[in-house]
Chains A and B, each alone.
Chain A
Amino acid sequence: MSGETAARYVGARVQRLEDPRMLTGRGHYIDDHVVPGMLHAAFVRSPVARGTVTALDVSEAREMPGVAAVFTMDDFRDVCQPTWSTITGRDPNALPLKPLADGDVRFAGDPIAIVVAESRYLAEDGAEVVDVDLDAQPPVLDIETGLRSGIVVHPEIGTNLAAHIDAPAEDEKIFADAAYVVTETVVQHRYVAVPMEGRGLVASWEPGRGELTIWAATQAPHEMRSYCARMLGLPEHRVRVVMGDVGGGFGQKMFVTREEMAVVLASYLLARPVRWIEDRAENLLAGGHARQEQATVSMAADAGGRLLAARVHHTENVGSYSTPGTGSVGGGVAAFFPGPYRLPVMSFTNQAVYTNTCGRCAYRGPWLFETVAREQMMDVVARATGMDPLELRRVNVLTDDDLPYTSPTGVRYERISPAKTLEQAAGLIDYDGFRREQAAARAAGRYLGLGLSLYVEPIQTRGVLGSEGAILRIEPTGEIMLIMGTASHGQSVETTMAQIVADELGCDPESIVFLQGDTAVTPWGPGTGGSKTAVIAAGAAHLAAGKMRDKLMRVAEHVLEVSASDLQLSGGRVHVKGDPEAGASFAKLAEAAYLNPAALPADIEPGLLVSARSVAPPSTLSNACHACTVEVDVHTGEVTILRYVVSEDCGRMINPMVVEGQIAGGVAQGVGGVLLEHMVYDAEGNPLTTTFMDYLLPTACEVPDIEYGHVVTPGDTAGGFKGMGEGGAIGSPPAVINAVADALAPLGARITGTPLGPPQVLAAIAAAAAGE
């Protein structure tokens, strides 16, 4: 690897290569994809949260014009084999998923039958006349009932305890002797991923060739390939998964879900291509939920506000059918609860509980409740000690001198900068100036507040997630193709990887054609998500580019008869240092490499194709500090965000514009989650928020201007990049919650979690006025 080519593109705000097609309506999303002869699917779904299927008559639907087939679990039983996620491995505690309800329904929206017809319109017509008789039974909907009532969501499992953690600590004396002990129950409500494009796929089983092809809106084509191959008992190389442009995922499209299984099985039985495009009602109803959990946290601090110990009892509502596994995030919450602070002792217990609601999917920072709970508790400790929340954090934050530091949960912290980001964020938001402004506003009867949120973000590269592949090809005519196992669906990977390759090869990023997401062609990859692109994908691109660079140099030596030490790469050519004219274009070199193989020296393999796989370092952490100021209207409960600042450290940035965009999207999801979004079930388990009229996403009016500061602590990778895609969603909820709590503190209002819509804000104020 040479340092001879300057970093012209890495680190720059390079405009995206993806944009022109997307801006002109020429992207190619799954709903745009036509497979000749394809049929269209719609699902019959349970209208009740729990019940037995006493009758299921699909005959009228089957007879409807345009309906090709109607399948139930009876039809799939013999062909659907147990399968599991390759990425997460087989979870012995989790239920192998069945695509359709099998004699009973376990959440409102549970798919019971799949109707396949000539159009979606006709499929929905058919679904309406499927006759289902259900004997509705009382559901369990919340954690308490799930644990205490005798009603079992999954009789095959026999308990509603999906997972649990018991990690006690010796802390009695610490709590007994501590100057301050605070206890609070922090609640996080159910809210969901909502990519603008729902799930969708076209599955085509061709028995003559023995091949299954799936075009899908997926974040992990290789995962889908192995999952579906296993499901049908097919060898993996007989299954091909292809992704085009994908309209967001946030985790919801990382793992194969039951409806997708049903679509593949339908194609298998029909030997016809079958397409399913999830509509928004389905997506909200059954597309995978998230976030509903709470914890009772006790924290002990000394007289100076230094944290001594924490006790966390964490419970989660994981719904019915989760992907992957049980849906529990207890392990991640436990591991990262200490966050960027010196916390000597922590005890942690967790219970994940099944209920008759939609199961979970991964949603951007699935474990983020650790930050949500901890950062709220920091402010609770601050109020108890009378310390300013910034000061309390300064006292406890890990500084450079503390590193490397191993938390009580065994996480090793190094190469992070929480203290620096804390100071940078405080400076950017003009912390002291705001406190003065706040005091003046209070005197005038206005309620302003400031919230801080400090966190460390684990980049998920352990085990199977630790490697990505890249193939670089220079074609005989000199064009560069970069072929990777990534599954970018908004992360700008097409651009950022081209920046890396362009720097190594001394060419223009726009000269690189990027191919991803086709398992027949692309190297195996663990999918895009988990904030790891800048570590493993960039690593692979970097390695491959280095290999190609070396190859080009060797071919150039042969073609130009000049030693490599006298050559450089720039302008899309290899040329003598200082003499751009004396060189050869990539096209010329490719010609030599491909078209005259016999003339090549024996130690140069013909062609220009290299491949590489990265290996992630054992652990990579990013970190950031969010600071948010709000005004709360105490008459209406409305919260207006005044300013929002993020000081982030993701190491060296490949493209700062992309980094800021990822932060912004995550912040919008946190702001929305706290102030607007709420997935609600009524007392019978009927969902009340299955349209965009009721599930409220933030618009341009509700998301503030976001201001950024950057700190750079390089990661342990060749480029020093670290990854950060989930961070915006992790840090934002507590920043907003803490700001509201800070605004209302003078009224004595206690804010202990979310949702925090106007009614909840007024209720908190009223409770304080009533002396509660």
Chain B
Amino acid sequence: MKAAPFEYHAPETLDEALALLAEFGDEAKVLAGGQSLVPILALRLSRFEHLIDLNRIPALRYVAATDGATRVGAMTIQAAIGRSEEVRRRVPLLADATARIGHFQIRNRGTIGGSVSHADPAAEYPAVAVTLDAEIDLASVRGTRTVSAADFFTGPLMTTAEPDEILTEIRFGNHVQGSAIAEMARRHGDFALAGAACTVELDAAERVRTLRLGLFGVASTPVRAQAAERAASGVAAGDLDPVAVGQAAVAGLSCVSDVHADAGYRQRVAGHLAGQVVARAVQEARAVQEARHG
């Protein structure tokens, strides 16, 4: 199981990388952690004449806090995100998601930019990005543009990134009050057959100010349960029925079937998990509100 031949480039700056990408076009592919790309190359499912390794660009590895947002460089290693105090405090959903990614050997090499660019609909980071309305920066020789996570994922392993663009940064808004993530995978560390991520913010009267509910592993991209979110808005936390919210989240959802699970299974389990994360996120939010307001 050996990859087809390719030329290798290891630029040390982003500009060098972008120039190479512009030069080689769709004969080139960027190499981040390699945990998704290298198996594809080894199985010869895809091949590229040129691999542009981003691992020598230190400027792309960082976790930086700004007012109201946390900026994560695309080449930040998943293990580093998992260990980051900043992420734990400011974007706990991202920290919780990290522990569910594969195994520690994968996380020692995999990157957030790689995972989000690869856009596996069952992966955790794309789901968190969609759930938190993250902003994604895409750079090319033509400049940098920002895309909302809501617009970024277009299909399984498909994004709006142009072939000559490199994902350089993802920005997450600060944590609100409660968040939770749950997934059903066949084995520990496997891609989710169904998963749900939720954040909740309550007002002083413990009514839902915002409820974000993302589902992953079920459709061709991570999806937000917008109808269920709207229905929950303004509802008193004590009156919220997480199970019903979960059911509403998957009503009419067109799920995928594959060798591991059929659409019906995914829909059913996603509904169940959605209810669970809503319950946990609401519980956490209520505790925060109670602590704050007594």
Contacts and interface: CB of A to CB of B under 8 A. Distances in A.
Interface of A: 120-121, 124-125, 128, 279-281, 635-638, 676, 678, 680, 688-689, 691, 693-694, 696, 698-699, 701-702, 757-759, 762-763
Contact of B259 (A635, A694, A762): A694
A281 B187 CA distance: 20
Contacts of A124: 2, 44
6 shortest interchain CB distances as A-B pairs: A701-B188, A279-B1, A759-B265, A121-B2, A635-B272, A688-B259
A680 B259 contact: yes
B193 interface: yes
A616 to B, nearest CB: 41
Nearest to B47: A128
A281 B1 contact: yes
A379 B291 CA distance: 55
Given A637-B265, A758-B265, A676 B187 contact: yes
Contacts of B4: 125, 128
30 contacts: A121-B2, A121-B5, A124-B2, A125-B4, A125-B5, A128-B4, A279-B1, A280-B1, A281-B1, A635-B272, A636-B269, A676-B187, A680-B259, A691-B39, A691-B43, A693-B191, A694-B260, A699-B188, A701-B188, A702-B187, A757-B186, A757-B261, A758-B184, A758-B193, A759-B260, A759-B261, A759-B265, A762-B265, A762-B268, A763-B265
Given A281-B43, A637-B265, A689-B259, A696 B187 contact: yes
B53 interface: no
Nearest to B268: A762
Interface in B247-288: 259-262, 265, 268-269, 272-273
Given A280-B1, A636-B269, A696-B186, 16 more contacts: A124-B2, A124-B44, A281-B1, A281-B43, A635-B269, A636-B273, A637-B265, A678-B259, A691-B39, A693-B39, A694-B260, A696-B187, A696-B190, A757-B260, A758-B184, A758-B186
Contacts of B259: 678, 680, 688-689, 694
Contacts of A680: 259
Contacts of A689: 259
B189 to A, nearest CB: 8
A698 B187 contact: yes
Contacts of A758: 184, 186, 193, 261, 265, 269
Interface residues of B, number: 24
Contacts of B187: 676, 696, 698-699, 701-702
A433 to B, nearest CB: 29
A280 B42 CA distance: 11
Interface string B177-190: 00000001011111
Contacts of A688: 259
Interface in B72-125: none
Contacts of B265: 637, 758-759, 762-763
A128 B3 CA distance: 12
Nearest to A281: B1
A643 B126 CA distance: 37
Contacts of A701: 187-188
Interface in B1-36: 1-2, 4-5
Given A635-B272, A759-B262, A762-B268, A128 B44 contact: yes
A188 to B, nearest CB: 18
Interface in B165-222: 184, 186-191, 193
B184 A638 contact: yes
Interface of B: 1-2, 4-5, 39, 43-44, 184, 186-191, 193, 259-262, 265, 268-269, 272-273
B227 to A, nearest CB: 22
B contact face: mostly helix, strand, loop, or mixed: loop
Nearest to B261: A759
Contacts of B260: 694, 757, 759
A482 B191 CA distance: 49
Contacts of B2: 120-121, 124
Contacts of A678: 259
Contacts of B261: 757-759
A87 B22 CA distance: 63
Contacts of B184: 636, 638, 758
Nearest to A675: B186
Contacts of A759: 260-262, 265
A763 B268 CA distance: 11
A636 B272 contact: yes
Nearest to B190: A696
A688 B260 CA distance: 10
A190 to B, nearest CB: 13
A694 B191 CA distance: 11
A413 B277 CA distance: 57
B24 to A, nearest CB: 21
B133 to A, nearest CB: 28
Contacts of A699: 187-189
A693 B2 CA distance: 17
Contacts of A702: 187-188
A680 B261 CA distance: 12
Contacts of A280: 1
A680 B257 CA distance: 14
A694 B260 CA distance: 8
Contacts of B39: 691, 693
A555 B186 CA distance: 64
A525 to B, nearest CB: 33
Contacts of A125: 4-5
Contacts of B5: 121, 125
B168 to A, nearest CB: 29
B236 to A, nearest CB: 26
Contacts of A762: 265, 268-269
A730 B93 CA distance: 44
Contacts of A637: 265, 269
Contacts of B193: 758
Contacts of A698: 187
B188 to A, nearest CB: 4
A696 B184 CA distance: 15
A696 B259 CA distance: 11
Nearest to B191: A693
A280 B1 CA distance: 8
Nearest to B257: A759
Nearest to A280: B1
A768 B288 CA distance: 43
Contacts of A693: 39, 191
Nearest to B188: A701
Contacts of B190: 696
Contacts of B189: 699
Contacts of A757: 186, 260-261
Contacts of B43: 281, 691
A281 B2 CA distance: 11
Contacts of A279: 1
A512 B43 CA distance: 45
A656 B4 CA distance: 48
B31 to A, nearest CB: 18
B55 to A, nearest CB: 23
B194 to A, nearest CB: 8
Nearest to A680: B259
A635 B269 CA distance: 7
B256 to A, nearest CB: 13
A709 to B, nearest CB: 29
A768 to B, nearest CB: 15
A702 B185 CA distance: 12
Nearest to A698: B187
B230 to A, nearest CB: 25
Nearest to A688: B259
A507 B149 CA distance: 71
A283 to B, nearest CB: 10
A120 B193 CA distance: 35
Which of A635, A696, A699, A759 gathers most chain B CB within 10 Å? Answer: A759
Contacts of A128: 4, 44
A405 B191 CA distance: 52
